Structure 1
């Protein structure tokens, strides 16, 4: 009986040491990318009627495919560190944006048609969130009712196990 207890105890100790020597690291893949660009007052072009301004940011990351399936989020900051999401209306000025392959255009326009002063230095944060159309996954033969099949196709989390 002592021998059996000693053997079981030794096995449990070896098992405990063996399992405590592995580290599991979860790496979350982030499909979003952020671009921050500063716009000088000279980079804003006035509307012909003087009620607004626009600026264009070259974005080669926005391809035709990305523009069709991804998402573009735009934020503006007039003071360091505080970004406001667009579209938005602040103090009678409407701020909005449009994206096309290769660029993002940001506009500001008064809502009552009055004249608008040229904006000062601004910081623009553009977030690109890549995505894949669900219909395309189905066309690839992925069973959308099978969680594991969808997870394998999307690969949102990769796990690495290091044995030390």
Structure 2
């Protein structure tokens, strides 16, 4: 009797071990364009900031989701941010409703000129 109970318990454990939950959550990709007039000068031209409205990022998503940002200085080649390109450091931060892009000289001392028109690719990754 003990042997059959043991075998029954082992078979239940093996069946339970083979089961796993999978969540498939699609990512969202959003494109935006930043033009030279979108950049706001800070620190006498040592840094600039530009905001991208992003209603998809609410407080919950900002706390639990993930945001990846890429920038294209030409058509079709995207570089992930943070990035240093031609001596300019590109970074970003997220908050509810916005992505804020920031640029500054890579040495943190010199002044920078905002780029021309650039395409920004934003990948939003949900988390459950």
Give the TM bin, normalised by the shorter chain: 0.7 to 0.9
Q: What secondary structure sits across from 1:119 in the alignment?
A: coil
Q: 1:52 aligns with which of 43, 47, 50?
A: 47
Q: 1:74 aligns with which of 62, 69, 85?
A: 69
Per-residue CA deviation, residues 60-86 of structure 1 (Å, 9 max, x unaligned), is: 110111111100000001101011001
Q: What secondary structure sits across from 1:49 in the alignment?
A: helix
Quick check: 1:94 aligned with 2:89? yes
1:47, CA displacement in angstroms?
Answer: 1.3
Structure 2: give runs of 5+ residues left out of the alignment: 1-23
Give distance in 1, aligned partners of 2:65 and 2:75. Answer: 28
Give distance in 2, aligned partners of 1:90 and 1:117. Answer: 12
Q: TM-score of the superposition, structure 2-length normalised? A: 0.76
Task: Tell me the matched-pair count.
Answer: 105
Deviates more, 1:65-74 or 1:43-52: 43-52
Quick check: 1:120 aligned with 2:105? no
Equivalent residue for 1:129?
Answer: 125
RMSD (Å), alpha carbons? 1.5
Equivalent residue for 1:64?
Answer: 59
* Structure whose CA Rg is larger: 1
Q: TM-score of the superposition, structure 1-length normalised? A: 0.60
Q: What secondary structure sits across from 1:94 in the alignment?
A: strand
Structure 1: give runs of 5+ residues left out of the alignment: 1-28, 133-164
Give distance in 1, aligned partners of 2:38 and 2:26. Answer: 30
- The answer as to whether partners of 2:25 and 2:127 remain within 8 angstroms in 1 is no
